[in-house]
Amino acid sequence: MPVQVYIDGQEGTTGLKILERFDGRSDIALLKIDPEKRKDNAERKRLIHQSDITFLCLPDAAAVEAVALAEGSNTRIIDASTAHRTNPDWAYGFPELSPAHRERIRTSQRVAVPGCYASGFISLVYPLVQAGILPADYPVTAYALSGYSGGGKKAIAQYTDPNRDNCFDAPRLYALGQTHKHMPEMQKISGLAYPPMFNPIICDFFNGMIVCVPILTRLLPKAVTPEQVHAAFAAHYANQRFVHVTALQGSDVLPDGFMSANPLAGSNDLEVFVCGNHDRILLCARLDNLGKGASGAAVQCMNLMIGAPEDTGLTSVYEKE
Ligand SMILES: NC(=O)C1=CN([C@@H]2O[C@H](COP(=O)(O)OP(=O)(O)OC[C@H]3O[C@@H](n4cnc5c(N)ncnc54)[C@H](OP(=O)(O)O)[C@@H]3O)[C@@H](O)[C@H]2O)C=CC1
Ligand SMILES: CC(=O)N[C@@H](CCC(=O)OP(=O)(O)O)C(=O)O
């Protein structure tokens, strides 16, 4: 019997990407809303109640509303929005963080999909806090590059407008007031005592992302080398299908010295890089903001929840091990 799945927000950037990942699956039966009725609450409620799994690919306020509409049903919800990521009643949808995270996702009625920047950040900081390398009160800073699809339909329309202003040609800093919406989950899930300083940059390419976290080793209570940090990541992510700890990098990061933000586009991969030197270690996470940063992670969570192989419908640029 196929699992009945409804996507609330099926016409949006994330909703459409989830649909793409369902191509060819016979274990799923999709419940589709008439596009004319996509904001009709009675129709949304009917489909949410009819489904076994509902994905929410909506702005935060509409996601909260959808959860209220689901009341009284047994529907399991996977929310791609920011609304429930720090809510203790919801599982945080990042199975590679620990066996406990994977198990909670598998058994939960409510799963929040991590934010794209947060996925990169947490993949770097959580293992080091757990390993006792990074103290909870370390003054963590992060900067990140994102393709414009991370801004949803509105940003895509701005960037693809043939008459756009030339300010869109250049990378643009934003969230300069240090209030980016991913900061609460970055802090809480990583186990940090304070919010990080976080500076995102939106760029003129469709999808792809790098999140960077610099570590000044002289600020750490215990001496640590890049080799030890690399070993901690390798142990933490051993045998994960989608999280890859790349070889320890020297000061020249990649063969030509550049790290591009888009080679994982379309995949559900996340790569961890340990760069820099003994004084200044630079951690980088590279992912597709629409893949492991959104729809890929959402589908991975669903696979766990319905007992399907975790990688069904998901691609990796790495050979299957
Ligand atoms: N893009 C990304 O990289 C990521 C996005 N997310 C999150 O996923 C969610 C969706 O984002 P994204 O796909 O980018 O957004 P989009 O703006 O591309 O799509 C949102 C969709 O929701 C629909 N919608 C809005 N209000 C309602 C409502 N009340 N009832 C039903 N449908 C409604 C919109 O309809 P209409 O067509 O009328 O606009 C639109 O189709 C957001 O919370 C976002 O923060 C998460 C991770 C990454
Ligand atoms: C480039 C860009 O605008 N990115 C979005 C984040 C995309 C994302 O992952 O956001 P949620 O998962 O929290 O919806 C932003 O900074 O608001």
Q: What is the pLDDT of residues 141-175, one digit of tens each?
A: 999 999 999 999 999 999 999 999 999 999 999 99
Please indicate whether residue 116 is annotated as part of the active site.
yes
3-state class of 248 per DSSP?
A: coil
Nearest-CA residue for atom 3 of ligand 2: 151
Q: Residue 318: phi, psi to the nearest 5?
A: -90, 150
Beta bridge partners of 9: none
Rounded distance from Cα 203 to ligand 2 centre (Å) = 13
Q: Which domains does the chain have, with CATH numbers?
A: 3-114+293-306 (3.40.50.720), 116-291 (3.30.360.10)
* Kind plus residue range of the DSSP H or E element containing 31: strand 28-31
Mean pLDDT score, 221-248:
96
Residues 6+ apart with CB under 8 A from 133: 220, 222, 224, 228, 229, 232
Select from 213, 210, 199 the least CA-distant residue to 145. Answer: 210
Ligand nearest to the CA of 147: 2
State how beta strands 197-203 and 53-56 pair.
Answer: unpaired
Mean pLDDT score, 220-242:
97
Active-site annotation holder among 57, 116, 275, 301: 116
Q: What is the pLDDT of residues 283-293, one digit of tens each?
A: 999 999 999 99
DSSP codes, 214-228: EEEGGGSSS---HHH
What band does 298 get if pLDDT is binned at 50, 70 and 90? very high
C-alpha span between 214 and 57 (Å, rounded): 32
What band does 186 get if pLDDT is binned at 50, 70 and 90? very high
How many percent of the chain have pLDDT more than 70?
A: 98
Rounded distance from Cα 176 to ligand 2 centre (Å) = 15
- Find out whether the beta carbon of 80 lies less than 6 Å from any atom of ligand 1: yes
Select from 247, 213, 243, 253 the least CA-distant residue to 231. Answer: 247
Nearest-CA residue for atom 14 of ligand 2: 81
State the average pLDDT for the chain: 96
Q: Residue 104: phi, psi to the nearest 5?
A: -65, -40
- Find out whether the beta carbon of 220 lies less than 6 Å from any atom of ligand 1: no
- Find out whether the beta carbon of 13 lies less than 6 Å from any atom of ligand 1: yes
DSSP codes, 135-187: -TT---EEEEEEEGGGGHHHHHHHHH-TT--GGGGS-EE--TTS--TTHHHHH
Mutating to test ligand 1, I would choose from 58, 116, 205, 300 the residue with most ligand atoms within 8 A of its C-beta, which is 58
Q: Is the pLDDT of residue 243 over 60?
A: yes
Angle, vertex CA 34, rays to CA 29 and CA 36, nearest 5: 160
Q: Where are the alpha helices (DSSP H) in the chain?
A: 13-21, 41-50, 60-69, 99-107, 116-130, 152-160, 183-190, 226-236, 296-306
Predicted local distance difference test score (pLDDT) of residue 179: 95
Rounded distance from Cα 116 to ligand 2 centre (Å) = 6
Q: What is the pLDDT of residues 55-81, one digit of tens each?
A: 999 999 999 999 999 999 999 999 999
Name the DSSP letter for residue 72.
Answer: T
Mutating to test ligand 2, I would choose from 173, 181, 198, 295 the residue with most ligand atoms within 8 A of its C-beta, which is 181
C-alpha span between 148 and 152 (Å, rounded): 8
| Residue 122 near residue 114 (C-beta atoms within 8 A) | yes
HSE toward the beta carbon, residue 246, CA cutoff 13 A: 19
Predicted local distance difference test score (pLDDT) of residue 257: 83
3-state class of 55 per DSSP?
A: strand
- Find out whether the beta carbon of 58 lies less than 6 Å from any atom of ligand 1: yes
- Find out whether the beta carbon of 82 lies less than 6 Å from any atom of ligand 1: yes
Chain centroid offset of residue 114 CA: 4
3-state class of 48 per DSSP?
A: helix
Rounded distance from Cα 151 to ligand 2 centre (Å) = 5
Ligand nearest to the CA of 173: 2
Rounded distance from Cα 60 to ligand 1 centre (Å) = 9
* ipTM confidence: 0.93
Chain centroid offset of residue 270 CA: 9
- Find out whether the beta carbon of 93 lies less than 6 Å from any atom of ligand 1: no
C-alpha span between 263 and 149 (Å, rounded): 15
Q: How many CB atoms lie within 10 A of CB 170?
A: 9
